[in-house]
C-alpha cells in the first residue's frame, strides 16, 4: 500500500472510524475547512428566496420561513473535497428534494438539477443525485444555523459527489431535461464527480 494511503488510513483508525470510508487519494480531517471561489456574500434571510423553475409544472419561490416550515430531514453524511480533505459524520438539517418535488412537480423529462447561487455560481447534478436519501437543501449544520462561510443561510448538500457540487449561498434550483456544466465543471472538474472512482478532473 502506498505510504500516503497507509498514513491516511492510520489517522482514520485513530479517530475511531473505519478506513474503508476514506475514498482513494483523500485524507481525513476532523476540522471543517472553508473552500470557495470569491468572497463570502452577505445574504439577508428576510429577503432571501429559493426559486425552482425549468422543467416543472409549477414554478415555485420560497422564502426562508417557508422553506423552514416544510417537513425537515436530518442526515449524517461524509463529505469529500476534490482538494483531498474528507470529513466524516457531518450533521445536516434541511429539506429533502421530495418535499420540493411535491410543490413544483418535475416533468418526466427532468433529469438534471442546476443549483444557482450568489455571484452567478452554478453547480450541476443529475436529478438522481439530488433525490438521494442524503441530499438536502440545508439550513443547519452540526446543530447550528448554517454560517455564512459554509454557505448560509441555505446551501445544497449532495454527499454522493465531491463537495464542489454542494452549492453554497443557494438561491435557485433549475430543473432541466439537458445537462449544463456548472462553475467548477467548466473550469475542468469532472462532470460526474464520483469520489470512489476519483473523478476529479475532466482532463
Ligand X SMILES: Nc1nc2c(c(=O)[nH]1)N[C@H]1C(S)=C(S)[C@@H](COP(=O)(O)O)O[C@H]1N2
> Contact residues for ligand X (CB under 6 A)?
32-37, 81, 117, 121, 150-151, 163-164, 166-169
Q: Report d(CA 167, CA 96) in Å as an integer.
A: 15
User: What nine digits make up the cell of 2?
Assistant: 502506498
Complex with ligand X: residue 32 or 53, whichever CB lies closer: 32
8 Å CB contact between 110 and 57 = no
Q: Which of Mo ion, ligand X, none is residue 10 near (CB under 5 to 8 Å by kind)? A: none
Q: Find the binding residues for Mo ion in span 28-67 (CB under 5 A).
A: 35
- Pick the closer one to Mo ion by CB: 96 or 200: 200
Secondary structure percentages of the chain, helix, strand, coil, to 5: 25, 30, 45
**Residue count (the chain):** 203
Element (H, E) at 3: helix 3-14
* CA pair distance 124, 119, nearest whole angstrom: 16
Which partner, Mo ion, ligand X, none, binds residue 150 by CB below 5 to 8 Å per kind?
ligand X
Given 164, 169, 189, 195, the residue binding Mo ion (CB under 5 A):
164
| Closest approach of ligand X to the CB of residue 185, in Å | 11
**How near is the Cβ of 36 to Mo ion at its closest, in Å?**
8
Options 70, 72, 81, 110; binder of Mo ion; rule CB under 5 A: 81
**Residue 184 beta carbon to Mo ion: minimum distance, rounded to whole angstroms:** 8
CA 150, distance to chain mean position in Å, is: 11
Which of Mo ion, ligand X, none lies near 112, with the C-beta cut-off 5 to 8 A by kind?
A: none
Q: Which is nearer to ligand X, 1 or 190 (CB)?
A: 190
Could you count the other beta carbons within 10 Å of the beta carbon of residue 21? Answer: 14
Cβ-closest position to Mo ion? 81
Nearest to ligand X of 97, 189 (CB atom): 189
**Secondary structure in 3-state letters for 16-69:** CCCHHHCCCCCEECCCCCCCCCCCCCCCCCCCCEEEEEECECCCEEEEHHHHHH
Tell me whether residue 36 or residue 96 sits nearer to ligand X (CB atom). 36
Kindly tell me which of 64 and 92 has the beta carbon lying closer to ligand X. 92
Binding site for Mo ion (CB under 5 A): 35, 81-82, 163-164
Amino acid at each position: 500500500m502506498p505510504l500516503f494511503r497507509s498514513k491516511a488510513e492510520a489517522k482514520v483508525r485513530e479517530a475511531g472510524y473505519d478506513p474503508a470510508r476514506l475514498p482513494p487519494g483523500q485524507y481525513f480531517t476532523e476540522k471543517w475547512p472553508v473552500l470557495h471561489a470569491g468572497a463570502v456574500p452577505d445574504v439577508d434571510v428576510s429577503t432571501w428566496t429559493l426559486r425552482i423553475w425549468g422543467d416543472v409544472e409549477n414554478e415555485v419561490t420560497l422564502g426562508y420561513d417557508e422553506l423552514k416550515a416544510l417537513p425537515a430531514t436530518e442526515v449524517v453524511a461524509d463529505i469529500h473535497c476534490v482538494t483531498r480533505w474528507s470529513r466524516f459524520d457531518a450533521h445536516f438539517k434541511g429539506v429533502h428534494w421530495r418535499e420540493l418535488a411535491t410543490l413544483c412537480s418535475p416533468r418526466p423529462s427532468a433529469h438534471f438539477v442546476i443549483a444557482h447561487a450568489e455571484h452567478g455560481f452554478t453547480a450541476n447534478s443529475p436529478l438522481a443525485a439530488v433525490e438521494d436519501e442524503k441530499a438536502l437543501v440545508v439550513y443547519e449544520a452540526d446543530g447550528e444555523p448554517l454560517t455564512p462561510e459554509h454557505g448560509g443561510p441555505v446551501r445544497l448538500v449532495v454527499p454522493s459527489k465531491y463537495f464542489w457540487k454542494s452549492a453554497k449561498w443557494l438561491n435557485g434550483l433549475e430543473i432541466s431535461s439537458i445537462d449544463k456544466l456548472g462553475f467548477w465543471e467548466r473550469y475542468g472538474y469532472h462532470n460526474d464527480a464520483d469520489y470512489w472512482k476519483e473523478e476529479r478532473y475532466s482532463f
